[in-house]
Amino acid sequence: MTRLAGQVVCITGASSGIGAACARTFAREGSRLLLAARRLERLEALESELRAAGAAGIRSVALDVRDREAVIETFESLDAPWRDIDVLVNNAGLSRGLDPLHRGLHSDWEEMLDTNVKGLLWVDRVVVPGMVERKRGTVIHIGSIAGRQVYPGGNVYCASKHAVRALTDGLRLDVNGSGVRVMSVDPGMVDTEFSEVRFHGDRDKAGKVYRGMQPLSGDDVAEVVRFAASLPEHVVLAETLLLPTDQASATTVHRKG
């Protein structure tokens, strides 16, 4: 029996990448999985695998975290045991474009800020009060090295992840003394759909991002998330920068050949 067995773990952006990897990892811990994503069909396709892995229960909900009213309605309509969330992995996020700021697309900026910043806020705002009331709970934000270092063309995406870092620190201060833990896991290069989304579906461009080096996998990040959540309740792994061995900074990457 693990520390996370039976706990309700809510994961946003759970239909692919880091979110789906977290779902698999917490399933093996025997957790109850509350999975949220825009693509409900992908969540439902995962369910049999997650049950076989050991999930104590699964609830999948279609949710776009940019829609504040939908976020409120989704979480406030939950019944027992799902409404008493023990662990929130606030993961939903994306990057769009790699243009210089003076040539950036307004639509890309709005999508990133609405998802990465506002979406994270909407979910925290509806979930954290219950944790404070119960005097326990763990909030894990999935940040990025982009929240620590700015790189060419990263402008608004980096700004959104700097905001996530500030919100993580701010929330930790605000709930201090409540028993609620607030953490962030900040990955470097991870081979998921991230680059394909950034380049608007251009798989050729996306593939070049990881050429000649070994990036992290979603499973690598999920394992750190699981470890952070499984620590004794008096321990907070406040922030973790997770890099592949081939990456030394946002822009320093060793490539073979």
- Please compute, for residue 204, the number of CA atoms within 13 A of its CA located in the half-sphere on the CB side: 0
Q: Catalytic residue among 26, 157, 199, 210, which?
A: 157
Q: Give exposure, 59-81, as e/b (b: 16+ Cβ within 10 Å).
A: bbbebebbbbeebeebbeebeeb
Q: How far apart are alpha carbons 116 and 142 in whole angstroms?
A: 10
What tokens does 111 get?
Answer: 């999508």
77 DSSP 8-state letter: T
Collapsing DSSP to helix, strand or coil, 143 comes out as coil
151 in active site = no
Q: How far apart are alpha carbons 29 and 152 in whole angstroms?
A: 40
Pairing of strands 8-12, 180-187: unpaired
> Which residue reads 């067995």 in tokens?
5
The type of residue at 71 is V
Find, among 110, 85, 104, the residue nearest to 160 by Cα. Answer: 110
Find, among 171, 112, 176, 174, the residue nearest to 144 by Cα. Answer: 112
What tokens does 35 get?
Answer: 């999975």
Catalytic residue annotation: 157
